[in-house]
Structure 1
Amino acid sequence: MTTTTSTIPVTTADPAAENSIRMLLPHTWLQSRRLLTRWRRDPMTVVQTLAYPVAMLVMLDVVLGRQVTAFAGHDALYGTVPMVAVMSALLGSLAGTITLRRECEAGLPGRLWTLPVHRASALLSRSVAEAVRIAATTTVIVGIGMALGFRFHAGALAALGFVAVPVMFGVGFAVLVTTVGLTWSNTGVVEAISLLCTLLLFFNPGFVPVSAYPGWIRPLVENQPMTAAVETMQAFSLGGPVAEPLVRTLTWSVVLIAGCAIPLVRRYRRALC
């Protein structure tokens, strides 16, 4: 009697292939879609990212719009729309960091790490998802602002620059708060940053020009990071010098990303253990 044996080929994942440049883009986009879907279905993220900022924009225009317009010399929306867009970017990043902490506690990043996916895509996808989220929410906020009377006086390219500013600044801030969230397991630290952002909301040129603040606090208002972003967006919408505030916004964004990139990678790897 003749016996026949069949062999079943066994394939193994090639670590070099899964970590190749060719695989980085599709793996990053796949994980970015997962994050965007997760945030869209999370009520806290939706409220912090969109519902709360939109409600604040309408409330500020109804309650303080006329007074601020009379004082500033231009429609108050040219301050409040940029300010609310930046605030939405920051609050959304904070909500995303809390979601990441929950995923780490549930062991999801560790399970994803064992799959044949590009190692860099895990963190890179968070920045991509943040950029998409901020661009989408800024567009909605601008749409609400235009319904209230906000307009772009410097053309379509300036409108694109307007949307790009909170994306750029928001991604830098997201890197910072993600690093903080992975360093301290206590969510109270992230909540403290949220409180600080809320306080800074009242000390920037979104309400009134910097010159209107008392002299003792004016240096803080001039040099806090939200001011540079708001002034850049005001210049893009109203028209005027853009270079100086844009350079300051770029500097803040680069400093945040460069200063937190290495600690973020280390903390993320530690969170996987």
Structure 2
Amino acid sequence: MSGYALRDSSTMVRRNIKHMIRYPSMTVLLVGMPVIFLLLFVYVLGGTLGAGLGGGRGAYVDYVTPGIILMAIAGAVQGTAVAVSMDMTQGIIARFRTMAISRASVLTGHVLGSVIQAMLSVAVIIGLALAIGFRPDAGPLQWLGALGMLVLLSFALTWLTVALGLVSKSVETASNLPMPLVLLPFLGSGFVPTDSMPAGVRWFAEYQPFTPVMETVRGLLHGTPVGGTALLAVGWCLLITVGGYGWALRLYNRNLVR
């Protein structure tokens, strides 16, 4: 990327961050739901579900936190689809086309701004989890590995939601299309082990993209081996990134020539 494009991209990142600060209601809503789910599962269901793990509420908060973290990331990137759809439907892109700015900077600004917002959501969830009993055994390298995995997932899902925002005909549609991403932790190992599920549901839970990511983050935070699970998680993230980026770029270029 040229210095010209980097300058324009940094401007677009600042634009998205200013929007996030100036209109915090969306951020509060997207972060608030994972916070509610964390408190609900730990304090209402944690005793019973923790007993099934061979421990109590403390064991369950250790287990469920990675699932809530992924839910927070999915919620944060959901806002990206809304922001992209607003840009495409409210005329700002047409205005950008008349200015001497890099075409790629608009999408780059959305992607990087969304990753920053997702990491802020992750920080909120981890801070709350630590306050209510989450006790990871990770060392500095394991924490860095877990953070890298979460950044990679955020980057992948952001490109996917950028494409969903571009393909949407309205802001309302853009807010609904990414909703399955928020539900995937429920249909994986986010809240209960997959071996406790019926056969058909267990098959889907074990092979969907979020499960290896959750198991990798859980293993890193608790200092247990992750083995091939980490490679599978990285593979899924790269596949989603390439697919989302290609889809988004094609839709964006098609909209620009109209």
State TM-score, norm by structure 2: 0.89
Residue 225 (structure 2) pairs with residue 225 (structure 1): no
1:10 aligned residue: none
Within the candidate set 235, 242, 246, 1:251 is matched to: 235
Structure 2 unaligned blocks of 5 or more: none
1:45 aligned residue: 26
Are the equivalent residues in 2 in contact too, given 1:79–1:207 (CA < 8 A)?
A: yes
1:261 aligned residue: 245
Within a 5 Å distance, the mapping from 1:1-273 to structure 2 comes to 21-73=2-54, 75-187=59-171, 189-272=173-256, 273=258
Are the equivalent residues in 1 in contact too, given 2:219–2:225 (CA < 8 A)?
A: yes
Larger Rg: 1
Distance (Å, rounded) in 1 between the aligned partners of 2:95 and 2:172:
26
Distance (Å, rounded) in 1 between the aligned partners of 2:87 and 2:171:
13
Amino acid at match of 2:213: A
SS at structure 2 position matched to 1:149: coil
SS at structure 2 position matched to 1:120: helix
Are the equivalent residues in 1 in contact too, given 2:85–2:174 (CA < 8 A)?
A: no
Supply the RMSD in Å over aligned alpha carbons: 2.1
Are the equivalent residues in 1 in contact too, given 2:79–2:175 (CA < 8 A)?
A: no
Distance (Å, rounded) in 1 between the aligned partners of 2:93 and 2:145:
34
Number of positions where the alignment pairs a residue of Structure 1 with one of Structure 2: 254
- 1:52-101 CA-partner distances (Å, limit 9, x unpaired): 21122112111111122211235112232111111111122122211211
Distance (Å, rounded) in 2 between the aligned partners of 1:51 and 1:233:
22
Report deviation, 1:113. 3.1
SS at structure 2 position matched to 1:217: helix
Change (3 A) 1:137 1:172: same
- 1:84-133 CA-partner distances (Å, limit 9, x unpaired): 11111112212221121112111112222332222222222222112211
SS at structure 1 position matched to 2:110: helix
Distance (Å, rounded) in 2 between the aligned partners of 1:126 and 1:195:
19
1:5 aligned residue: none
- 1:9-45 CA-partner distances (Å, limit 9, x unpaired): xxxxxxxxxxx71223232222112112213333552
Work out the percentage of aligned pairs sharing the same amino acid.
25
Report deviation, 1:192. 4.6
Distance (Å, rounded) in 1 between the aligned partners of 2:255 and 2:178:
23
